[in-house]
Structure formats: C-alpha cells, structure tokens
Amino acid sequence: MMLATAKPSNKEIREITQHYIYVRPYRPSVSKLYFPFVVKNAGFIDIGKYYEHEFYKQNIVWYFWNIVSIRKSLPVFPTEQAVFDKIKELEKHDKTGTDAHISYINQDTIETLLGEKGKKVLGKTLVLIGNTARKFKWPLHKIEVQCVSDIEVKDWNYVLVVLSFDSDFDTADEYLHLLYRELDSLVTTLTYEEQDILQGLIYFDVETTAMVSSP
C-alpha cells in the first residue's frame, strides 16, 4: 500500500537527523535518500537492541512511514556493516513471542482516523505489545490492525488491534488481561490528549488458533 510520498525538506531532515541515526532503503532507485532511525541518541549497540526481533523491524518501518513516507515493503538496512552484523547476531537469539507479524487492513483509513498523534500512540502501543510478548514469551504470532465501524452506532469508527495467539481462548484472554496492566503503565506516560486517543479510538481483542478450552 502506498502512503503519502512527499519527500521531507532538507530542513526537516536536518532537524530529525540531529537525534537519529541513519539507515537507508535497500532499493537502488532511492538509495540516495538517507532516512533517520527512530531511536533517539542511539549508538550501534542500541540499534542492535531495537533490531533484535522481527517485531521491532516492522515497527521501525512503520515509523519510517510517518517520518519520510516510504513504502512499507521497502527493506531497510543500516549503512554501517557493523550494525548490520550486530542485528544478524541478535536475530539468532530467542525469538519467542516477538515473531508476531503486524498487518494493517486499510492503513490509509487507520491513519486518517488516528491523525498524527494517534499514529504515535498506536506505535507506542504496538511497541508495548511486542515488549510484553517478549518479556512473557507469549505465543503471539500475528497482530492485525484494522479500522472498524460499529454495526449499530452511526459514525462510531475505531481502530481494532487483534492479537492472534497460538493458544486456547482462555489462555489468550489471560494474556490480554496482563496487557491491560501494561497499558495502564503506558497511560501514565501519555499526555491527556494521547490518553483520550488510546481510550476512545484504539481497542483490543484476541483470536486464537486452538479451540475454546472450557464450555
């Protein structure tokens, strides 16, 4: 899916890159463009940390959309071979719970609904989910983000984040309750406006691969 393609101005790039480390897209046709990494004040090791799992890769690419508006499908890799090697090394380690693939259904609708601040809140939320999944080794294999309209209430549109677990329903339900507590901690770091966005526009549910465990 193509998002807005406006190239950032040189001034914007300078401002962003004061605090970010560069990576660049793989595709030769755009290889002259250097894109900022989203990790503030990061060094090589920190980059590796954030690239440790597939989840973060995808999330970082998601941030790229917001910052420089490139296609999601573009693979990216750091300009420095040392960082690239570090990433490959880290990828060999434990991946449990962080291999979750994030997919967006009607991304443009989601972005329109959320606006710029909402996209940041969603980004923070997805990072939190990834961290939590990794911390507790959840069998989380997919995160689907979609825009939904309520079947009865006119103009009630929201973003639904569905977490797909390789577990039975009751276990997935427990994971979601644990996520609520993590989200409560996240809320304390958000502005009032961001809290409103999270509470009013972003909702969560689970789906499972196994049968419901109890009648």
Q: Which residues bind another protein (CB under 8 A)?
A: 150-154, 156, 158, 162, 169, 173, 176-177, 179-181, 183-184, 187-188, 195-196, 198-200, 203-205, 207-208, 211-212, 214-215
Nearer to another protein, 30 or 176 (CB): 176
Nearer to another protein, 80 or 168 (CB): 168
Closest distance to another protein from the beta carbon of 202 (Å): 9
Nearer to another protein, 6 or 192 (CB): 192
Closest distance to another protein from the beta carbon of 48 (Å): 31
Closest distance to another protein from the beta carbon of 168 (Å): 9
Nearer to another protein, 34 or 156 (CB): 156
User: Concatenated DSSP letters for the chain?
Assistant: -----PPPPHHHHHHHHTTS-EEEESSGGGTT--EE-SSTT--HHHHHHHTSSHHHHHHHHHHHHHHH---TT--EEESSHHHHHHHHHHHTS--TTT-PEEEEESHHHHHHHHHHHHHHHHHHHHHHHHHHHHHTT--EEEEEEEEEE-SSSTT-EEEEEEEEESS-HHHHHHHHHHHHHHHHHHHTTS-HHHHHHHHHHEEEEEEESSPPS--
